[in-house]
Amino acid sequence: MDLSGKVAVVTGSGRGLGRAYAAALAAAGAAVVVNDVDEAAAGETVGAIAAAGGRAVPVIAPVGDAEVAERLVATAVGEFGRLDVLVTNAGILRDRVLWKMSDEDFDDVVRVHLRGTFTCARAAAVRMREQGEGGRLILVSSPAGQRGNFGQTNYAAAKAGIAAMARTWAMELAKAEILVNAVVPVAATEMTRTIPAFAPVIEEAERTGEPFPPWLRRDEGLGTVEDAASLVVFLASDESKDITGQAIGIGGDRLALWAHPREKTVAFADGGWTADGIALDWHAGVGAAPESFGIPAPKGP
């Protein structure tokens, strides 16, 4: 993939998946605005990109407010002359079960993930429409947003909202040739390290330098952050010019297209449904095969 001449903003790119996205985009030729709240981490990402022959500048700020979003876009334009790609990766975790989750736990996560994606995408869309040459909005969602996850009311809700925004913006920005997709990555990060079935394998791989075993890469779809970065590079490239409004998963050896929510089964009652009528029909009719929910527990080797 050749991204020469393109300019990208990657939020939350000081470490983990965000750093991998920024590094991969730069390696493909794009100039990158690296964003993080950690100045040292952002500096390390910029330094690594520069050492590899790429171009990058840092912006140290938390996403959420419109002012930060506009600053990111202005930095891209001021430093590199344009903006072609936005990757909304920034996020935090405040995991609690429902009855223990505080207002602050909920608001903080939604502010960074959902509001941060909204404000950054809005600022980027304004600039891309002014340029008149199309663009790419690559929004980072999560399996938790597709299926729910224990202890992650705030995170799952935000990530589900991000996928919904991708579908909405794909329609709104189609005329401007701005493509919008959600990516659903699974990779070995500080978060997945906390999952008991994954932690020993991740630690062993890091200690020995050996690759993750096939069952983890293929069956669970979990690999390195670099594995996930390839999808972002593809979606930023001209090769993805006909792809928009999709939620695409990647991790380890697995690439997947997630289904959109849709009616699964439908039944009709002349004159409408009564509560008794629903009760009589449910188990043998519409509700005969209910949907599963939650991220499946890892099966192991």
CATH numbers and ranges of domains, the chain = 7-187+224-257 (3.40.50.720)
Q: What does the alpha-carbon distance between residue 224 and residue 209 come to, in Å, rounded to a whole number?
A: 12
Please report the DSSP string for the chain in residue order.
Answer: ---TT-EEEETT-SSHHHHHHHHHHHHTT-EEEEEES-HHHHHHHHHHHHHTT-EEEEEE--SSSHHHHHHHHHHHHHHHS---EEEE-------B-GGG--HHHHHHHHIIIIIHHHHHHHHHHHHHHHHTS-EEEEEE--HHHHH--TTBHHHHHHHHHHHHHHHHHHHHTTTTTEEEEEEEE-B-STTGGGSTTTHHHHHHHHHH-PPPPHIIIIIS--B-HHHHHHHHHHHHSGGGTT--S-EEEEETTEEEEPPPP--------TT---HHHHHHHTTTTTTSSPPP-SPPPP---
Q: How confident is the model at residue 195 (pLDDT cuts 50, 70, 90)?
A: low
Q: What is the pLDDT of residues 36-80, one digit of tens each?
A: 999 999 999 999 999 999 999 999 999 999 999 999 999 999 999
Catalytic member of 6, 13, 21, 155: 155
Q: Say what angle helices 103-110 and 153-172 make with each other, to 10 degrees.
A: 30
Q: What does the alpha-carbon distance between residue 97 and residue 100 come to, in Å, rounded to a whole number?
A: 5
Q: How confident is the model at residue 157 (pLDDT cuts 50, 70, 90)?
A: very high
Q: What is the pLDDT of residue 191?
A: 67
Q: What is the pLDDT of residue 208?
A: 87
Pairing of strands 135-140, 254-257: unpaired
Q: What is the pLDDT of residues 177-192, one digit of tens each?
A: 999 999 999 998 876 6
Catalytic member of 13, 141, 142, 240: 142
CA 238 from chain centre, in angstroms, equals: 20
- The answer to whether the CB of 110 falls within 8 A of the CB of 101 is no
209-236 mean pLDDT: 91
Q: How confident is the model at residue 197 (pLDDT cuts 50, 70, 90)?
A: low
Whole-angstrom CA distances from 80 to 32, 76, 231, 233 are: 9, 6, 24, 19
Looking at the DSSP bridge assignments, the partners of residue 248 are 183, 257
Q: What is the pLDDT of residues 131-147, one digit of tens each?
A: 999 999 999 999 999 99
- Catalytic residue flag (residue 159): yes
Q: What is the pLDDT of residue 209?
A: 82
**Closest among 137, 119, 123, 120 to 174, alpha carbons compared:** 137
Q: What is the pLDDT of residue 119?
A: 98
235-260 mean pLDDT: 97
Residue 158 has pLDDT above 90, yes or no: yes
Q: What does the alpha-carbon distance between residue 259 and residue 261 come to, in Å, rounded to a whole number?
A: 7
Catalytic member of 6, 141, 159, 240: 159
**Closest among 270, 261, 251 to 188, alpha carbons compared:** 251
- Catalytic residue flag (residue 155): yes
124-130 mean pLDDT: 98
* 114, two tokens: 């959902």
- Catalytic residue flag (residue 21): no
How high is the mean pLDDT of the chain?
94
* pTM (2 d.p.): 0.94
